[in-house]
Amino acid sequence: MTQNKDYTYHNPVMLQECLDGLNINPEGTYIDVTFGGGGHSRAIFEKLTTGRLISFDQDPDAKKNAWDAKNFDFVASNFAFIKNHLRLLGIKQVDGILADLGVSSHQFDEGSRGFSIRGDYPLDMRMNQSSDIDAKHIVNTYEEDELISILRKYGEVKSPGKVAGTICRARSRKEIETTGELNEILLPIAPARKENKFLAQIYQAIRIEVNNEMDVLEKFLAQTTEVLKPQGRLVIMSYHSLEDRLVKNFMKRGSFDGKIEKDFYGNILKPFTEVTRKPITPTEEELELNNRSRSAKLRIAERNDD
């Protein structure tokens, strides 16, 4: 395995729990759909002998962390297109899929990407930097009712009308171009001693809209039923309640809205069985070492026989 000299290691969240959840067969085929800094992928790869690993990431920066090996493929794409790319690689089904959702450590740390509430950087928030829509476009061009909708739906903001109105009044005077400018506009209406949480919820809502994250997650989950072999493992880590709710419903009930479908005999129709009934959360030790893990929830399910 040849390592890229620019490789930067990031502490992968709940690494051992993810590896245990995948129940890795050294001769199996595995997918990491959120390569990022490569920490999870590298650990999976090291457990393989004749097995194969395919890693996805749409962020061009992530490819710098890839390596050269005959049984490793890096796919520069959004994981919503997982089935198409596997077909191109000649792969029909795999033994396990890992997804570490949300923003990578690199994306948060790289201020110019505009994901963090700290600093003063361009309003961007695109995970795929070739995308046409960025945070600046949303903040400055969405109608007030559209802003209210995404703030309520994706940020679970308690006062979306007040936030949207404040943004619209400010942009009518001058275009909002940076995270610092947006913070300056919003901080006067933030709840006392909850400023960071307030800003984080707003940034989350804008980021999800920029990257169409919930729709992408649904498309990905729907494809896992075809991509995974019977007894194959689906291991997903989420960082906010919207993602976790989708994953939970899909694993528990086979639907995104939580509705249960039954066959003629009353058997529940669902493609997966949960390996863990409740989500796994980080240990106290990990929380001390890796602050990013504080909101992580890990769910594991196994593909049922057809």
- Binding residues, by number, are 38-40, 57, 79, 100, 107
Which residue has tokens 């880590």? Answer: 237
- Distance, CA of 130 to CA of 124 (rounded, Å): 11
Judge contact between 140 and 171, C-beta under 8 A.
yes
Rg (CA), the chain: 20
Judge contact between 250 and 272, C-beta under 8 A.
yes
Q: Is 83 exposed, middle or buried (0-12, 13-18, 19+ CB in 10 A)?
A: middle
- Distance, CA of 55 to CA of 32 (rounded, Å): 5
| C-alpha closest to that of 122 among 139, 106, 105 | 139
Identity at 190, one-letter amino acid code: A
Residues 6+ apart with CB under 8 A from 191: 198
- 297-303 and 272-274 as β-strands: parallel, antiparallel, unpaired? antiparallel
Residues 6+ apart with CB under 8 A from 7: 38, 64, 65, 67
User: Which residues carry a binding-site annotation for S-adenosyl-L-methionine?
Assistant: 38-40, 57, 79, 100, 107
Identify any residues that bridge with 100 across adjacent strands, giving them in sequence order.
237
Spatial strand order in the sheet of 52-56: 72-75, 52-56, 29-32, 94-100, 228-238, 297-303, 272-274
